[in-house]
């Protein structure tokens, strides 16, 4: 199974992705995790990405497309994967279409977790407190920036998939279990769900 999970920062994408990984025996491809690992390793790409992430901006499309392209070529993606945090721009979404077509595969579902933006800020800052502020991009200023970047650059990705008729939108309000149940239901239903 190949899935794409969309939703603003704080929507619970990471949590739901981890659950789907266990349930379906697939791997999670989180571009945020890949960038944080590159930053921690101090690679040139990682160092540049860290400065961009710390201010809540997006890493350039060509860098991200290269990263995900290399990742998709690793053999462990053969059993299925869930994309978490990619694509974040329409440019990335179009590139992903081409990358998948080149490899002769398709996404089985694209699920958008829809959450009221007003409550996201509180959720993300709550996460920052729980993790002891270990993520440099979970500060108040960057959270506001990341939400506006989402509205301007990533919301159009959902519209892009919506126009293609392949988007499933689910309500992201409620408990983790409630949202999980809605995702499972949408994966069972046809593409017009």
135 belongs to the catalytic site: yes
Q: How far apart are CA 135 and CA 131, in angstroms?
A: 8
50 belongs to the catalytic site: no
Judged by CB under 6 A, does residue 81 bind ligand AMP?
Answer: no
Are the beta carbons of 142 and 56 closer than 8 angstroms? Answer: yes
By C-beta, is 139 or 186 nearer to ligand AMP?
139
By C-beta, is 29 or 167 nearer to ligand AMP?
29
Are the beta carbons of 163 and 97 closer than 8 angstroms? Answer: no
155 CB neighbour count, 10 Å cutoff = 15
* Among the residue ranges 57-65, 93-101, 125-133, 168-176, the one whose residues contact ligand AMP (CB under 6 A): 57-65
Are the beta carbons of 27 and 82 closer than 8 angstroms? Answer: yes
What 3-state DSSP class applies to 128? helix
Q: Report which residue's Cβ sits closest to ligand AMP.
A: 32
2 belongs to the catalytic site: no
Choosing from 88, 127, 168, 182, the residue that interacts with ligand AMP (CB under 6 A) is 88
By C-beta, is 12 or 32 nearer to ligand AMP?
32
82: which 2 tokens? 């869930």
Judged by CB under 6 A, does residue 29 bind ligand AMP?
Answer: no
Nearest to 22 by CA among 190, 158, 180, 131: 180
Binding residues for ligand AMP (CB under 6 A): 9, 31-32, 35, 52-53, 56-59, 64, 85-86, 88, 92, 137, 146
| Residues annotated as part of the active site | 13, 88, 127, 135, 146
């Amino acid at each position: 199974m190949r899935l794409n999970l969309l939703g603003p920062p704080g929507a619970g994408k990471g949590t739901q992705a981890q659950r789907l990984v266990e349930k379906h025996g697939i791997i999670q491809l989180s571009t945020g995790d890949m960038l944080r690992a590159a930053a921690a390793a101090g690679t040139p790409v990682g160092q540049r990405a860290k400065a961009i992430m710390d201010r809540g901006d997006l890493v350039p499309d060509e860098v991200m497309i290269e990263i995900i392209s290399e990742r998709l070529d690793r053999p462990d993606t053969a059993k299925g994967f869930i994309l978490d945090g990619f694509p974040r721009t329409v440019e990335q979404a179009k590139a992903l279409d081409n990358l998948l077509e080149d490899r002769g595969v398709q996404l089985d579902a694209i699920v958008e977790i829809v959450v009221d933006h007003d409550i996201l800020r509180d959720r993300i800052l709550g996460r920052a407190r729980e993790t002891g502020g270990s993520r440099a991009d979970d500060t108040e200023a960057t959270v506001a920036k990341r939400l506006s970047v989402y509205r301007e650059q990533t919301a159009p990705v959902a519209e892009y998939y919506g126009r293609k008729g392949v988007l499933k939108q689910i309500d992201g309000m409620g408990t983790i279990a409630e949202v999980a149940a809605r995702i499972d239901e949408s994966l069972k239903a046809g593409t017009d769900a």
